[in-house]
């Protein structure tokens, strides 16, 4: 029997000709996305490098998208501070796929990604809604998550 569409996508992302359900693979990720919780992810990411003497570097800023859409406008001073922190991080690291709260560039993350061509059929996408730690590992250059 041939491979399922998911097996084909993951085979491509791992550089293999075939794979089967139940295998553990480490696919190359085409896009990592976060939203307002990026502030938490940034904190965790910074902790990875704390005390190592290594420079904190992003995996690939061109493959990261951040979309403010859950708390727009900010409902508290804490959210506003977090959004400011994310804006500063985006500017510092040259993340160009950033969608702020403005109506002409903002919107719902699940719509922004395909409407702007950030994701296409057959790509591997990781969203921080699935677990901030995995995004942290990805930002640091790890080829995670492991898919079973």
Helix axes 38-49, 77-93, angle to 10 degrees: 60
Question: What is the torsional sign of CA 142, 146, 29, 7?
Answer: positive
What's domain 27-139's architecture?
Answer: 2-Layer Sandwich (3.30)
Per-residue pLDDT at 147: 40
Per-residue pLDDT at 97: 94
What is the rounded CA–CA span in Å between residue 75 and residue 101?
13
What is the rounded CA–CA span in Å between residue 76 and residue 54?
34
Query: CA 142, 7, 17 angle in degrees (round to 5)?
Result: 85
Break the chain into its structural domains and give their ranges: 27-139
Element (H, E) at 99: strand 97-99
Q: Which residue has the higher pLDDT, 140 or 46?
A: 46
Lowest-confidence region among 54-63, 105-114, 138-147: 138-147
What is the tens place of the pLDDT at every residue in 77-91?
Answer: 998 999 999 999 999
Element (H, E) at 32: strand 31-34
């Amino acid at each position: 029997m041939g491979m399922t569409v998911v097996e084909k996508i993951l085979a491509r992302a791992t550089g293999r000709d075939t794979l089967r359900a139940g295998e553990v693979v480490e696919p190359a990720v085409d896009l990592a996305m976060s939203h307002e919780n990026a502030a938490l992810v940034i904190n965790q990411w910074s902790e990875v490098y704390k005390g190592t003497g290594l420079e904190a570097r992003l995996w690939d800023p061109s493959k990261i998208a951040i979309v403010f859409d859950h708390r727009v406008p900010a409902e508290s001073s804490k959210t506003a501070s977090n959004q400011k922190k994310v804006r500063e991080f985006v500017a510092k690291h040259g993340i160009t796929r950033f969608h702020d709260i403005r109506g002409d560039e903002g919107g719902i993350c699940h719509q922004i990604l395909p409407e702007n061509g950030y994701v296409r059929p057959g790509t591997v996408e990781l969203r921080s809604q699935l677990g901030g730690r995995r995004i942290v590992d990805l930002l640091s250059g790890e080829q995670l998550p492991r898919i079973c």
